[in-house]
């Protein structure tokens, strides 16, 4: 394990203040608006309350923003010739991927710690298992979304495309039912979008696939674990295959 | 250990063909054989698209050739890179703009089990005063010196430079070659690609001229220079056409033209032409000039073209 490289990557991220804003500050702010300050925040769910449910959702949004930017920047760095520079060292491709994955995990931990701490301080409640398993699921699932940034970065090779992809995550998070409860047609469409499975899985420890029981969600069937896993599995596989195809397409000539 | 030391570079039958959808394939390298001994300083000279970068990419293990065998100190290129035997200064790009000079050196150093020392290479590349500066704020020449510092990290036996002074101004270019001379004097094998004949002849002991994916000339710098460069001798004559015909029969005269009353001859032996003009040919107002290096270079690489029609489609 190359700790020098890893620590330097962490330092690069800490220096990038605007990015940190989107990763931690924005999710915290969203939690306060949609969670802590609402009167339904204290309503009980199966293994916690609504405030915890919203805490987990916002942390997940911050985490995917973080990991997709890592994936995107990895692709852009290589497009700009850093891959050739590393090609002149003993470092292998898999070691580069390992460093970036470690960075993605570390970065995904920042919103989890930040939003969970804020939630804990402002009324989010739940079983220890609900807190712990949700936190783990947020980090583990977020790592797969570095593929989303990677695909965009590989396809367009520019920083602005990666930034646009982060912006697109807002729409995907909305459709994925992360920000506030969807219903009707939007929900039917949302069930197939990339973040839906992840959003449902990270909150499963809190309410087992049921919605947050807010008035808008009355009468909705719970999501099955199978559907949520299927959604995440499908999108991970699709993005993974797309990434492999893009890498092969870009290989013959720079 | 074998009794004979392997050559620094051994290239046999190298071909690199790039397939392009909807176009004819590009033969970027079309049969190159090249041996470079340890301690040589060799320039690979050629116009853009001649196949220089493609050849160096294969030599550095950055590209897999379509066919052919490449050895660096008897090792496969990727092994030679991993063992720190060969390193390179690549063309522009390849640096992370948000890192400082020192951080960049540290990160690359961290990938080598043994290296020459972060501060040592920064010093040798003349970057000590800039160590804390962000890469984005460094000039083109400074960034190139940083790439050079990175190339020194593994303390390589072979240093490959791909158009190392592209984008540098005259001062930066001079400084860069001064530093490089010190490295070559220390016994490193140096192979560099350039499209400036001046740069090749100022720095290399040997010049390999590449055009259309093939080697069109390979000799000592002195010989390449005299073949490529030569001199131009011109004089006024009463019967320029007759004088031109006489000069044209000489072996060392490569071309003769008549411009008004003046006969202009391009030759490898200017003394002989001048002597004849002033004696038997009764020429007047004799001028001897050194041919323009760049023009000569164009002449040198153009000669390869007619046999290489198929490869002219770009690359």
| Residues in A touching B96 (Cβ below 8 Å) | 12, 77, 82
**pLDDT for residue B309:** 38
**Local confidence band at B303 (pLDDT 50, 70, 90 cut-offs):** low
Q: Is B72's pLDDT higher than 90?
A: yes
Task: Name which of A2-6, A103-107, A126-130, B302-306 the model is least confident about.
Answer: B302-306
Q: How far apart are CA A139 and CA B73, in angstroms?
A: 47
Is the ipTM of this structure higher than 0.90?
no
What is the interface size between A and B, counted as CB pairs within 8 Å? Answer: 69
Indicate if B195 and B77 belong to the same structural domain.
yes
Indicate if B268 and B180 belong to the same structural domain.
no
| Residues in A touching B75 (Cβ below 8 Å) | none
Indicate if B74 and B169 belong to the same structural domain.
yes
Indicate if B285 and B303 belong to the same structural domain.
no
Indicate if B253 and B188 belong to the same structural domain.
no
Q: Kind of pairing, strands B231-236 and B284-290?
A: antiparallel
A246 neighbors A85 (Cβ within 8 angstroms): no
**pLDDT for residue B308:** 40
**pLDDT for residue B127:** 92
**Local confidence band at A216 (pLDDT 50, 70, 90 cut-offs):** very low
Say if B306 falls within a structural domain.
yes
Is some CB atom of chain A closer than 8 A to the CB atom of B111?
yes
Indicate if B166 and B273 belong to the same structural domain.
no
The CATH number of the domain where B185 resides is what?
3.40.50.300
**pLDDT for residue B176:** 84
Indicate if B282 and B303 belong to the same structural domain.
no
| Residues in A touching B98 (Cβ below 8 Å) | 12, 15-16
Indicate if B14 and B80 belong to the same structural domain.
yes
- Residue from the list B87, B106, B107 with its beta carbon closest to the beta carbon of A88: B87
Is some CB atom of chain A closer than 8 A to the CB atom of B22?
no
Say if B109 falls within a structural domain.
no
**Local confidence band at A213 (pLDDT 50, 70, 90 cut-offs):** low
Residue range A76-99: mean pLDDT, rounded: 89
**Local confidence band at B3 (pLDDT 50, 70, 90 cut-offs):** very low
**Local confidence band at B312 (pLDDT 50, 70, 90 cut-offs):** very low
**Local confidence band at B296 (pLDDT 50, 70, 90 cut-offs):** low
Percent of chain B's residues with pLDDT above 90: 41
- Crossing angle for the helix pair A50-79 and A159-175, nearest 10 degrees? 160
Q: Which residue of A has its CA nearest to B112?
A: A90
d(CA B312, nearest CA chain A) in Å: 18
In this predicted model, what pLDDT tens digit does every residue of B149-208 receive, in sequence order? Answer: 999 999 999 999 998 888 788 888 888 888 888 888 888 999 999 888 888 888 899 999
Conformational region of residue A87, where left means phi above 0, alpha means psi within -120 to 50, and beta covers everything else: alpha
Within 10 A of A102 (CB to CB), how many other CB atoms are there? 19
Residue range A14-34: mean pLDDT, rounded: 88
Q: Do B113 and A90 count as a contact with CB atoms less than 8 A apart?
A: yes
Q: How far apart are CA B63 and CA B86, in angstroms?
A: 15
Indicate if B172 and B69 belong to the same structural domain.
yes
- CA atoms within a 13 Å half-sphere pointing along the CA-CB vector of B238: 4
| Residues in A touching B64 (Cβ below 8 Å) | none
Say if B125 falls within a structural domain.
no
d(CA B136, nearest CA chain A) in Å: 13
**pLDDT for residue B311:** 39
d(CA A105, nearest CA chain B) in Å: 20
A199 neighbors A174 (Cβ within 8 angstroms): no
Say if B123 falls within a structural domain.
no
**pLDDT for residue A78:** 85
**pLDDT for residue B149:** 94
- With residue A246 as reference, give the H or E element that holds it: helix A225-250
- Residue from the list A81, A89, A90 with its beta carbon closest to the beta carbon of B93: A81
d(CA A247, nearest CA chain B) in Å: 14
**pLDDT for residue A104:** 92
| Residues in A touching B87 (Cβ below 8 Å) | 88
**pLDDT for residue A39:** 78
Is the CA virtual torsion A134, A138, A144, A145 positive or negative?
positive
Tokens (6 digits) for A83: 């891959």
**pLDDT for residue B212:** 86
Indicate if B192 and B303 belong to the same structural domain.
yes
**pLDDT for residue B2:** 46
d(CA B309, nearest CA chain A) in Å: 22
**Local confidence band at A149 (pLDDT 50, 70, 90 cut-offs):** very high
**pLDDT for residue A240:** 92
Indicate if B281 and B192 belong to the same structural domain.
no
**pLDDT for residue B229:** 65
Q: Do A90 and B82 count as a contact with CB atoms less than 8 A apart?
A: yes
In this predicted model, what pLDDT tens digit does every residue of B60-70 receive, in sequence order? Answer: 999 899 999 99
Indicate if B207 and B243 belong to the same structural domain.
no
Q: Is B247's pLDDT higher than 60?
A: yes
**Local confidence band at B18 (pLDDT 50, 70, 90 cut-offs):** confident
The two counts, helices (H) then strands (E), for chain B are 11, 13
Q: How far apart are CA A43 and CA B2, in angstroms?
A: 80
Question: How many domains does chain B divide into?
Answer: 2
- Helix (H, G, I), strand (E, B), or coil: what is residue A159? helix
- Residue from the list A5, A77, A87 with its beta carbon closest to the beta carbon of B62: A87
Top residue of A15, A77, A80, A89 to mutate, by most chain B CBs within 10 Å, is A89
Task: Name which of A89-103, B197-211, B226-240 the model is least confident about.
Answer: B226-240
**Mean pLDDT of chain A, nearest integer:** 88
Domain limits for position B242: 231-290
**pLDDT for residue B165:** 85
């Amino acid at each position: 394990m190359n700790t020098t490289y890893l620590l330097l990557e962490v330092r690069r991220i800490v220096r990038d203040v605007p990015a940190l804003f989107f990763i931690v500050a924005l999710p915290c702010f969203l939690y306060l608006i949609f969670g802590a300050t609402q009167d339904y925040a204290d309503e009980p769910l199966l293994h916690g309350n609504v405030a915890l449910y919203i805490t987990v959702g916002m942390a997940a949004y911050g985490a995917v923003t973080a990991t997709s930017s890592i994936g995107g920047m990895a692709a852009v760095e290589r497009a700009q010739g850093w891959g050739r520079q590393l090609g002149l060292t003993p470092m292998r491709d898999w070691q580069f991927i390992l460093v970036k994955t470690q960075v993605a995990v570390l970065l995904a931990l920042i919103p989890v710690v930040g939003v969970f701490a804020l939630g804990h301080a402002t009324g989010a409640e739940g079983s220890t298992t609900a807190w712990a398993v949700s936190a783990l699921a947020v980090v583990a699932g977020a790592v797969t979304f570095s593929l989303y940034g990677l695909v965009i970065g590989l396809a367009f090779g520019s920083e602005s495309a990666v930034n646009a992809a982060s912006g697109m995550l807002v729409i995907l998070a909305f459709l994925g039912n992360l920000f506030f409860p969807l219903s009707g047609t939007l929900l039917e469409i949302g069930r197939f979008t990339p973040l839906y499975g992840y959003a449902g899985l990270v909150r499963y420890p809190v309410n087992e696939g049921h919605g947050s029981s807010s008035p808008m969600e009355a009468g909705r069937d719970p999501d099955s674990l199978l559907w949520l896993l299927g959604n995440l599995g499908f999108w991970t596989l699709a993005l993974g295959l797309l990434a492999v195809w893009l890498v092969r397409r870009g290989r013959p000539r720079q | 250990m074998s009794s004979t030391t392997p050559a620094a570079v051994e290239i046999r039958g190298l071909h690199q063909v790039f397939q392009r959808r909807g176009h004819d394939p590009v033969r970027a390298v079309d049969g190159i054989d090249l041996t470079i001994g340890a301690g040589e300083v060799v320039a690979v000279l050629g116009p853009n698209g001649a196949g220089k970068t493609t050849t160096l990419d294969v030599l550095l293990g950055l590209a897999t050739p379509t066919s052919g065998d490449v050895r660096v100190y008897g090792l496969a290129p990727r092994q030679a890179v991993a063992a720190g035997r060969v390193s390179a200064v690549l063309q522009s790009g390849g640096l992370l703009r948000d890192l400082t000079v020192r951080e960049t050196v540290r990160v690359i150093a961290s990938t080598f089990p043994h290296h020459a020392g972060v501060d040592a290479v920064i010093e040798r590349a003349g970057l000590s005063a800039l160590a804390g500066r962000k890469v984005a704020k460094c000039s083109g020449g400074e960034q190139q010196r940083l790439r050079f510092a990175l190339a020194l990290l593994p303390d390589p036996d072979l240093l490959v430079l791909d158009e190392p002074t592209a984008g540098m101004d005259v001062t930066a270019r001079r400084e860069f070659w001064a530093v490089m001379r010190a490295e070559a004097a220390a016994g490193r094998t140096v192979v560099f690609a350039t499209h400036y004949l001046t740069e090749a002849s100022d720095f290399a002991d040997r010049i390999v001229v590449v055009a259309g994916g093939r080697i069109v000339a390979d000799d000592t710098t002195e010989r390449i220079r005299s073949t490529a460069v030569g001199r131009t001798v011109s004089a006024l004559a009463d019967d320029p056409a007759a004088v031109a015909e006489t000069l044209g029969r000489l072996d060392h005269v490569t071309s003769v033209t008549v411009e008004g009353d003046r006969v202009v001859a391009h030759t490898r032996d200017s003394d002989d032409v001048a002597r004849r003009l002033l004696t038997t040919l009764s020429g007047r107002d004799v001028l001897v000039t050194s041919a323009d290096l760049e023009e000569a270079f164009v002449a040198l690489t153009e000669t390869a073209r007619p046999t290489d029609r198929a490869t002219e489609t770009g690359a």
